[in-house]
Amino acid sequence: MNSKTKIGIIICDRYRRCAGGKCLRAMKNREGAFDIYADTEVELVGFTTCDGCPGGNIEYAGEEMVKNGASVIHLATGLVVGYPPCPYIDTFKAFLEKRYGVRVVAGTHPIPKKYLDMHTALGTWENPEWQPLIAPAMSDEATRASYD
């Protein structure tokens, strides 16, 4: 490992009881959106929810994560795979980047196959604006299946 990157993870409040297992597994294995850290040590410095629509905790969470040294904040995969996907994800990303000067990545763990199949059938991500939001967590077919 060449360097250390401190990250924060913000999850959708619909999943507020999530223990973070898939996100932490993906971070450890450098899968999904965490594959960008292949040669980097990663330290998790914050994990919380957005506090529900329209994201009342985004400002506070971002501030605390940055105070703890975060240079990257991941908006968890649940924000893009939920039904419906988060309508505020672009706003969260733009705000966090502008206000705190951090990189914001949409996604954590790989998109599970069952979610990809359903969103494909529903046409959820057909709009080109979704492509950069789902790309970091897309992974290969076998990896997606292992997150079902």
Mean pLDDT in the chain? 95
The pLDDT value given to residue 1: 53
Strand ordering across the sheet containing 3-11? 40-49, 3-11, 72-75, 103-106
At 3 the pLDDT is: 82
- The owner of tokens 């790989």 is 110
Alpha-carbon torsion angle 53, 56, 58, 61, nearest 10: -130
CATH of residue 26's domain is 3.40.50
Decide if 53 contacts 88 (C-beta within 8 A): yes
Which whole number is the average pLDDT over 117-138? 95
Domain that holds residue 16: 3-145
Q: How many domains does the chain have?
A: 1
Sign of torsion over alpha carbons 104, 31, 14, 43: negative
**Rounded distance between C-alpha atoms, residue 15 and residue 32, angstroms:** 19
Q: In the predicted model, what is the mean pLDDT of residues 8-19?
A: 94
Per-residue pLDDT averaged across 95-99, rounded?
98
Answer yes or no: pTM beyond 0.85: yes
- How many percent of the chain have pLDDT more than 90? 97
Q: Kindly tell me if the per-residue pLDDT of 12 is higher than 80.
A: yes
Question: What would the mean pLDDT of 104-113 be, rounded to a whole number?
Answer: 97
Does residue 6 register a pLDDT over 60? Answer: yes
Report percent pLDDT > 70 for the chain.
Answer: 99
**pLDDT category, 93, cuts 50, 70, 90?**
very high
Position 70 scores a pLDDT of 98
- Predicted local confidence at residue 98, as pLDDT: 98
